[in-house]
Amino acid sequence: MTITMPTAAVEGIQLIVTPFRPDAVIGTVGLPALLQLVPSPKTEEDKRALKYASGSLRRHAEVRALVQRMLKSTQKGRNVTSYAAYIAAAVNGEYGSGWSTPPITLWLDGRPGAISDELVPGSGIRTITVLPASPVVAIDGETQVAAWHELFDDPERFGISYEKLSAIRIPFELYFGLSVEDARQIFYDRNVEGVPVAKNLAMSMDQRDIGTRLAHRVAEMVKVEHDGKIIPFAKLVQARKRQLTKTDPEVVTLSALRLLVVTALYGRSGLGQSSATVHEGDLPNGISVEQVKRELAPLLSQVITRLYPHFAARDAVSAPAVLAGLGVVAHQATSWAAGGARLNADDLLELLEPVRWEREARYWDGVAASANASGTLNFGGGAKDSGGRVADALLHPDTEYGRKIRGW
């Protein structure tokens, strides 16, 4: 006589999900469960660790290698620790509600062990069960997965607790039943088909960046007459795009205005820091955020007020390279300027007074722009290429470029 084995429920990690196509669902998962589903990419790239790892982990590493790039020795890998620090600070409440991590895109190599009926009729909400040792790979958001692993492996290093981490839920989308080729295609589409945001534009949206905050502050301080009304200059600053078109009502971009701030803050070295986030710890030695606000904001406000007619006319002053050079000159009027001729606000405005800001080749060709055969100027060189020449021309009227931009 034999004994019939009981019918058992499928065992594994159970996820509550909503389908958005027959082979894909969305949902949220607790952090410990996510880290069970998706092993650490760093561990899977450690040959010594893999040598002694379980068979399921080695198989997962093999599947991952089919659809993902390496973390080791890449910018992606170098970002993991800083990403973990960002997440820890956010979870600890340092950023309030102003933070986010994108949903992680997962691929299950195979099919779920079980899919339930709808939990609420008509809602589409179900549970799916992922069997133990079924390879689940992050085909988008893997740096975030690696950062979560780093946090959970050593929370004290990042000033956070297991209790806080264990309470977190992570949004995800999960594809299943797809071939390796389809999973690779999703990886490609997510990383190539989308248009990446230019770093300078993204930086101009960063409200924790001191450069961005100060640019907003300066723009609000300046009051100008526009269409017969007195308005804040901020209303004429384009914050959504990196470049202006002829039909835009704005007169300068926020990213260009931020260039003015950063170079005024750091001087010539700011030309190489235009796309780097400025945190409080990055300020010049002994200089506080309050001092920067108190000293630099009024100075730049004076400059913009004096030059506003040229901004309104879309003259050369609105070009990023010219604003970068102008910021280098304004730096010499700050109390923390380390070298070069010291200026006060009056000296600065006096230097700028005779400059011919019109967008004409006879003034700006070879300094901040290049002219074609018909004399049309292209200011596309950028701050790093042309900002230094503009600064030298503004600071030294008796040089070749100094005389050129003044029409002498």
| Helix-, strand-, coil-residue percentages of the chain, each rounded to 5 | 50, 15, 40
Left if phi > 0, otherwise alpha if psi is -120 to 50, otherwise beta: which for 159? left
Question: Which of the pair, 47 or 83, is modelled with greater confidence?
Answer: 83
Q: Exposure string (b/e) for 46-76, b if CB count within 10 Å is 16 or more?
A: eeeeeeebeeebeebbebbeebbeebeeeeb
The Cα 402–Cα 408 span in angstroms is 9
Model pLDDT, residue 344: 92
The Cα 60–Cα 14 span in angstroms is 19
Q: pTM (2 decimals)?
A: 0.69
CA nearest neighbour of 251 among 307, 207, 293, 299 = 307
The answer for residues whose C-beta is within 8 angstroms of residue 395's C-beta and 6 or more apart is 328, 329, 332, 340, 341, 351, 402
Give the SS3 label for residue 17.
Answer: strand
The Cα 155–Cα 148 span in angstroms is 10
Domains of the chain by residue range: 13-194, 201-404
The Cα 177–Cα 112 span in angstroms is 8
pLDDT in tens, 166-216: 999 999 999 999 999 999 998 888 877 776 676 656 766 777 889 989 999
Model pLDDT, residue 56: 86
pLDDT of 381 > 80? The answer is: no
pLDDT in tens, 126-147: 999 999 888 999 999 999 999 9
Residues paired with 26 in a beta bridge: 18, 173
Model pLDDT, residue 239: 81
Left if phi > 0, otherwise alpha if psi is -120 to 50, otherwise beta: which for 208? alpha
pLDDT in tens, 288-305: 999 999 999 999 999 999
